[in-house]
Structure 1
Amino acid sequence: MMKPRITHASRTPGRKTGRRDRTRTPSLIAALLSLTTATAACTVSPARQVAAARAARAALSASDPAVLPRPTGPHAVGRTVLSLVDEHRRDPWVPSAAARRLMVSMYYPARPGTGGPAPYMTEEEARLFLQAKAPGAGVSPALLSGTRTWAHTGARPAGGRFPLVVLSPGLSFPRATLSGLAEELAARGYVVALIDHTYESTGTTVPDGRTLACAVCGEPPAGGPAAIARSRAADVSFVIDRLTGRHPAWTRSRMIDPRRIGMAGHSIGGDAVAATMAADRRVRAGVNMDGTFYAPIPPAGLNHRPFLMFGAEHEAPGADPTWTQAWRSLNGWKRWLTVAGSDHGTFTDMPVLSAWAGKPGTGVSPERAEQITRTYVGAFFDLHLKAIRQPLLDGPSPANPEITFQSP
């Protein structure tokens, strides 16, 4: 049976308008997060997550779930979900919510053979995602939430200390859509904090069982998309505080080397990387994956810190003036890479999910899209957070003919 195409339902800041979001995802969880919390920082029970993931997979009988590509790094991958509440900051989009609450998926190098399957997203998150992207398509939220991941809940951590990479998804996209990249980085020896910026995605399930819908997807808030990017910068600084401060919220925080922190983001999440680096010097290196720079890089640059502009063909020189201006403002190590045959979703899980749904794109293949993103983002952080030389970033490579090094 042919499965319907998922498309963007409306024009939203941080996404390229007029483009198809060829998305389609299977799902794996209906019972997750029926927990309550009265603390400012809590970890969602691993036993509950594992039970929910297994129950959802057992219910999938009509068809097989999608499978994210296996990570290529030497480590197994563990995952923990944190609920963090900033008691000193009112939510910028829903004042009645009082304090700003964030859900964060922590990925980390783990010992093989430990823990249980980690869910992709909750079933209600999947329902809202499908409602926004494919209204009336008749796609089962249970299938979408059942996407096969490689992370394990409750996995025992690997020994050692690792750089921290923060990931920020595009506007309206749940954090789950960057799961493939998060798993790859963790397998390569990074701790990854993948943030859901509450009220900025189609749905974020919190520990009391509610799923909070998007409050700014229909139209930009006061201050426009730049206000969203700057709000995300505040989110990221708060998360870094809670992961590396004197009383960390994460029980495995000793795995993090606070002197080696990087950040990558998709769409407006990429814009947020630059906004975060402008405000927080702890972030030493950043990657913008196909995001318009609504919050301009300061004229003084980012204090000579390295930055990768990694975009689809519509972000080639001359297509987006904000990229040209950002390039001129950057005063440290920098690269501007364009991926031939790509679109806005290339840098996320969307190509894999779309192909699973029977609606692959016409450009770079889903497997190749995933490989390119993982290869270049991983190389960037290996160079700048681990000081491992990366000839791949010195210029064009015959092994990667889709990549153009721009020099406007």
Structure 2
Amino acid sequence: MSVLFKGLCIIHPDGLGEPEDYVFEKGEFTPIASSNTSHYDQEIDATGWLLSHGWIDLRCGVGEPGHEYKESIESLAECLVTSGFSAAVILPNTEPVIQSKGDVDFVLNRAKRYTPEFLIQGAVTKDTEGENFTEILDMHHQSGVFVFGEGRKPLANGDRYMKALQYLQKFNGVLFDHAYDPLLAIFGHMHEGDNSTMLGVKGMPNLAEDVAIQRNLEIVRYTGGRIHFQTINTAKGVSLIRGAKAEGLNVTADISIYQLLFSDSDLMEFDPNLKVLPPFRGDTDREALIEGIKDGTIDALVSNHQPEDRDSKFMEFDLAHFGMVGLQTFLPAMALLKNELGWPLLIEKITSGPKEILPHELTQSWTIFDPEADWTYDEKSNKSLSSNSPWFGSDLKGKVKYVIQKGQLIEVDV
């Protein structure tokens, strides 16, 4: 079947292209001359729609194995496609933890029947407890894992951090680092500042993140190797990574897109859906994050998709689990940021940015979306098994229309 898309605008690094006609035929997606549009099976008016290379999420949680009721591999795959993502790095924090060849193969074998590409972040230490090493070399040589980290947890043991960087240099692996000092953040539930004081909630200071980033940069100066800092969200953290890049250290960084849309002042009503890790911080930190995106210090935006069931979220704020689902709201979040950052820069941070971080070769893919389309995020449209989002039940703007991957044209149904 051949499908003609009329009037698509492709997103280039320097701006939006002029409207063009594209055709999907025999598994290929290519631009065509406007005059040659007479023999296709289906014609779609794509006026106002945008086209980009397939989106890549570097930080995505799943419940399976162990917590399939929160998010199964099948539901995550459907959620990724619906949200426009063609590939995602899966965190190791399942039960059991993804820490051996068998664990990796289980997830990959379950995922291969679905369209998105699943890339595994293998755990560095057993059960992500920061002590005994996992089978790092075996996971790489036998199952092709290049990315390692502790997922939602920090690798706070300096000796293990140093040795992990040394191991990973044997095969050009990269350490994904969720950097914060757990003892400096102990018992914290939100950003430490005026708002946490007014609410009487134990806070997590910027210091917890700043100290960890600074320590880990010192270690990479000593050992060499590659670090990718995940979900950074302090002004000093951005400054430290900017300096490390200028120095020539092999470091990259990402942030959760929702960190640009909320602050600690949004927690005044104790909404557990806004309890995330790292926590929402203040305006000064947000301004630094925006500047870091613009000047290239921050290489990627991530969903930090963390599905949680109702019993884990709908309780007292200090007992609720951290995290929110972030895939289906990713495009609406970009739509809210487009005037400040622009579509070319936003799309760069989920296409070429993450692609340069990953040692994996990814298949060619495309995402077609309507930045102005309205839809309602509710039980009917939700593809995840969880709904822990502050936007659940809201009307949103920005809808993915089609994903093209593995020679398939997939129409998104929301």
TM-score (normalizing by structure 2): 0.32
Q: Pick the structure with greater CA Rg.
A: 2
TM-score (normalizing by structure 1): 0.33
